[in-house]
Structure 1
Amino acid sequence: MESRMNPEEARAALADVDRTRSDIADRLYTPWWYHPILGVLIGGLAAVAGSGARLAIVWGAVGAFAIGAYLLATAYRRITGVWVDGYSGGPRSRRSAMNAVFIGIAIAAVGAVFGLGFELWWPSVAAGIVLAVLTTVWGRHFDRLLRADLREAA
């Protein structure tokens, strides 16, 4: 397919794309309460899952997490008008997201292994607290990386 666009039109179109990416990056300021709530959801799920609680309680925690995550995503979309999944921003934000996932899995696994293997509840609660704090801190860092990635030219 041939393009009939002259070089000036092409440059103007690329400039529009850059402005749009920058505008989206400017809209992606996460409310102050978003990451702490997400941290409580993730940490709570890890704490309950590894605590040796009854299966019904664990499934209740999974349900609460799912509903909470859905409500957070809905609120974020309503406030910002957009939703960026974190993996479409750029290499730095993708790497940061993957690191967070792996660290979260490792911390939750440690809490579960100690909590279930020795019938102790406190290791999973400690892992949940660590995950809640890390989610809050890392989430804000991830937002900065994502906005920087979106502002860069494609």
Structure 2
Amino acid sequence: MTRNEDAQRMLAEIDAANADLAQRAKAPTWYHSALGLLIGGLIAVQGLPLPLVAAFYTAYVVGLVLLVRAYKRHTGLWINGYRAGRTRWVAIGLAALSILCGLIAVWLQRERGLALAPPIFGAIVALIVTIGGFVWEAAFRADLRAR
């Protein structure tokens, strides 16, 4: 076998491993919606009394732990959402949009008296994060193909 053939074989093995990883890393269909509901819920509860907000925060943490466990059980691995590559920009963009929506919702509720602002913006963020999860997966697959 020549050096060129050997190098081509190794590159083909890398491509096959990346394709396998891209398939394995696909989250369950419901995963992104569940994450979106959790993050949207963080915003939606901001107008509620403090004990209810604290109760939701506890449920939020438990929900995140359960999501990570479900993802690991389904895929056999865990991938940091802020890993280097296209995925980092998707994750940072989602975080920035979520924070911005949360700040606007709280401002509208406290300064303008719009009590429905947190639930409305929470629903918007839930939708954005759900769609963003699928965008993140597509970015992850693109990162694997680019290497």
What is residue 112 of structure 1 aligned with on the other side? 106
Q: Is the 8 A contact 1:25 1:148 kept in 2?
A: no
TM-score, normalised by the number of residues in structure 1: 0.83
Match of 1:56 among 51, 54, 62: 51
Identity %: 33
Displacement after TM superposition at 1:22 (Å): 2.3
CA distance in 1, matches of 2:110, 2:67: 30
In the alignment, residue 127 of structure 1 is paired with which amino acid? Answer: F
Measure how far apart 1:27 and its partner are.
Answer: 0.8
Change (3 A) 1:22 1:70: same
After superposition, residues 119-138 of structure 1 pair within 5 angstroms as 119-138=113-132
Cα deviation code 1:39-87 (max 9, x no counterpart): 11111111102x1x22211111111111111101110110111111122
Report deviation, 1:13. 5.0
Question: Among residues 20, 25, 28, which one is paired with 1:23 in the alignment?
Answer: 20
**Number of matched residues?**
145
Distance 2:136 2:50 in 1: 33
SS of 1:32's equivalent in the other structure is coil
Measure, in 2, the Cα distance between the counterparts of 1:114 and 1:120.
6
CA distance in 1, matches of 2:35, 2:144: 23
Q: Which amino acid aligns with 2:143?
A: D
Q: Tell me which amino acid in the other structure corresponds to 1:77.
A: K
Amino acid at match of 1:152: A
Structural RMSD (CA): 2.1
1:3 match = none
Q: Compare the two structures and name the one with the higher helix fraction.
A: 2
**Counterparts of 1:76 and 1:139 in 2: how far apart (Å)?**
13
The counterpart of 1:86, out of the listed 53, 75, 81, is 81
Unpaired segments of 5 or more residues in structure 2? none
Deviations 1:78-114, CA, capped at 9 Å, x for gaps: 01111111222x4221111111111111001100111
